[in-house]
Structure 1
Amino acid sequence: MAAYTLITGASGAIGKAIALEVARKNKPLFLHYHQSKDEVLNIKDKCEEFHIPVELIQGDLSLRGGADHVYNQLHSPVDTLIYNCGVSKYGLYQETTDEEIYRLAHVHLLNAMILAKKLLPDMIFRKKGNMVFISSIWGERGAALEVAYSAMKGGVNAFVKALAKETARSGVRVNAIAPGVMDTPMMNDISDVDLLELREELPSGRFGKAEEAAQAVSFLTGPQSSYVNGHILDVNGGW
C-alpha cells in the first residue's frame, strides 16, 4: 500500500502551495482542513490533475483531542507529515486570555507533538519517514505583541531538534522551516502604512511567496536533504 503525505492546514496559502509541490511528485495526499472546505476542495481538484489519490481530513487542531480526531480518519500509512496549522494573536501579552493561550498551544505545539507521536511507530517500523513543521521567524527571535505565538513556535523548534536526535537512527528525519513575512492572507489585517514600513526593513525588499515556503518543504522532504536532520531552515529574505 502506497504511503501518503499528510498536510495539515491545507486550505491556507502555504498549505495549498505545499500540496501542489507534493502532487507534482505523484505522492498520495491527505489534505487536512478545519473550516475552509471550498478552499480545500479547490486544491484537491488541482492535485488530482496529477492522477494521484487525494483524501480530505477535517478537524479542529486548536482543541484538545484534535490530533486524535485527525489521526482516526487516516486509512493508509503516512510516511510524511507536514504540520502547517497556525493562527496568530496580535496584542499585549497581559491582555491575552487564558483561553487564547490554550488555543495557540494546541494548534501550534501540542497537537503537532501528539500527531507526530501517533505517526512515529509506523515510520520507525518502516525505517522511513519525514516530518516538517512550519515554524516562524518569531520562534527564533521572539516578537513583542506576539508573545504567546512566539513561545509556541519556539517550542516547535526545540521539539524538532530534540525529536530528530531520537529518530535519526530509525530513518526518520524531523525538520522545520521558519518563514519570515510571507505575502499571504494572514497579512490582510495589517495596514498599508505598516506593510510599507515592514517591507523597507527586509533586506530582500519584498515579502516571501507561499510557493517559496513550499519549495523549502519540498527540499526538506526530498532525497537532496537526506543528511539534513533537526534543522530549522530560515525562509525570510535575509531578515
Structure 2
Amino acid sequence: MTTSPVALITGAAAGIGKETALAYARSGCDVVVADIQESALHQLVKDIKLIGVDALAVTTDVSDINAVKELHNKIMERFGRLDYACNNAGIEGENAPTAESSLENYDRVMNINVRGLYACMQAQLAIMSSQGRGSIVNMASVAGLIGFPGLPAYCASKGAVVQLTKTAAVEYAEQGVRVNAVCPGAIKTDMIDRITSKDPETEKQFAALHPMNRMGTAEEVANAVVFLSLPGASFITGQALAVDGGMVAR
C-alpha cells in the first residue's frame, strides 16, 4: 500500500508512453508501466526508481482481456489505489488508401486501439468510481479529429477513442472521475519514423503540417497528459486536447 498517487501508463516501453511514465514519476507519483516489451519495461522501472518513487512493470497485451484484468488486479494488490491512468498503447497499422487497406489490418488496429483501450478504461472506471476520485487520459490523435490519407483504420480508431472519452466523462463526472483525451500531431517517435521511413524530405512535409513548422516531442505530449491528470486540471473533463503545434487550428 502507498500514500503516494499511483499512475498507470500502457504502451509505456517507448516514445510518448515512456516519457509520460517519467513525467508522472517526476510529479511524485508511484508508476505502473505496462507493455508487451518486457525488457524495455524493466529498464524503465530502473530509470523511474532513480527519480525516487516506486515502480512496477507488468507485461501486458491490451488486446487480451484477461491480461488487462490481471494488470489492474496487480496494481490494487501492490498499491491499493489507482489515481491516474494514461491509456497510450496503440499501433498505426498499414499505410494504404481505404479501398486497398485490408480488413485484417482494420480488425487488428481496432482490437488494440479501441477494444484494448475500452477494456482498460472499464477496469479503471470501476476502481476510480469506487474510490470517488481519479483521472484517465486516453491517447487519441489529430487523426481522430481530421482525416489523414492512407491511415483509414487508424483514423477510425482514434475517432472512436475521442467519443469513448466524451461518453465516459459525462457518465462518471459526478463520481469524481475525470476523463480526457490528448490528440498529438506528428510527434518525433518510432511510430512517425515508420511512417516517414526517416526520409528527410518526408519529415519536412510532416513538419510543415504544423504552423510551428516542426514536429512535436514525446516530452511535450507527456507534459499535457500529466497536466490533465493532476488536480490543477480539476474542472476539465470530456476534452480532446490537440497537442499539435496548431495543426487543427488551420
Q: Distance between the aligned counterparts of 1:79 and 1:123, measured in 2?
A: 7
The aligned residue for residue 151 of structure 1 is 156
State the Cα deviation string for residues 15-73 of structure 1 (Å, max 9, x = none). Answer: 111111111122111100102x3322222111101222211111222456553353344
State the SS of the aligned residue for 1:177: strand
Q: Unaligned 5+ residue runs, structure 2?
A: none
Mapping of residues 144-223 of structure 1, within 5 Å: 144-189=149-194, 190=196, 191-223=199-231
- Is this contact kept in 1: 2:87–2:120, CA < 8 A? no
Distance 1:72 1:101, change over 3 A: farther
RMSD over aligned CA atoms reads 1.6
Q: Distance between the aligned counterparts of 1:176 and 1:216, measured in 2?
A: 10
Q: TM-score, normalising length from structure 1?
A: 0.93
After the TM superposition, which of the residue ranges 92-101 and 201-210 deviates more from structure 2? 92-101
- Is this contact kept in 2: 1:67–1:112, CA < 8 A? no
Letter in 1 for 2:54: P
Letter in 1 for 2:223: Q
Is 1:29 aligned to 2:31, yes or no?
Answer: yes
Q: Sequence identity of aligned pairs in percent? A: 29
Q: Distance between the aligned counterparts of 1:201 and 1:179, measured in 2?
A: 13
Q: Distance between the aligned counterparts of 2:106 and 2:154, measured in 1?
A: 8
Deviation, structure 1 residue 169: 0.4
State the SS of the aligned residue for 1:208: coil
The aligned residue for residue 59 of structure 1 is 60
Q: May I ask how many residue pairs the two structures share in their alignment?
A: 238
The aligned residue for residue 85 of structure 2 is 81
1:94 to 62, 87, 99: 99
State the Cα deviation string for residues 207-226 of structure 1 (Å, max 9, x = none). Answer: 10100001001110112110
Letter in 2 for 1:137: V
Q: TM-score, normalising length from structure 2?
A: 0.89
Letter in 2 for 1:33: D
Q: Distance between the aligned counterparts of 1:63 and 1:102, measured in 2?
A: 14
State the SS of the aligned residue for 1:78: coil
State the SS of the aligned residue for 1:131: strand
- Is this contact kept in 2: 1:104–1:148, CA < 8 A? yes
Deviation, structure 1 residue 126: 1.4
The aligned residue for residue 20 of structure 2 is 18
Q: Distance between the aligned counterparts of 1:187 and 1:50, measured in 2?
A: 28
Q: Unaligned 5+ residue runs, structure 1?
A: none
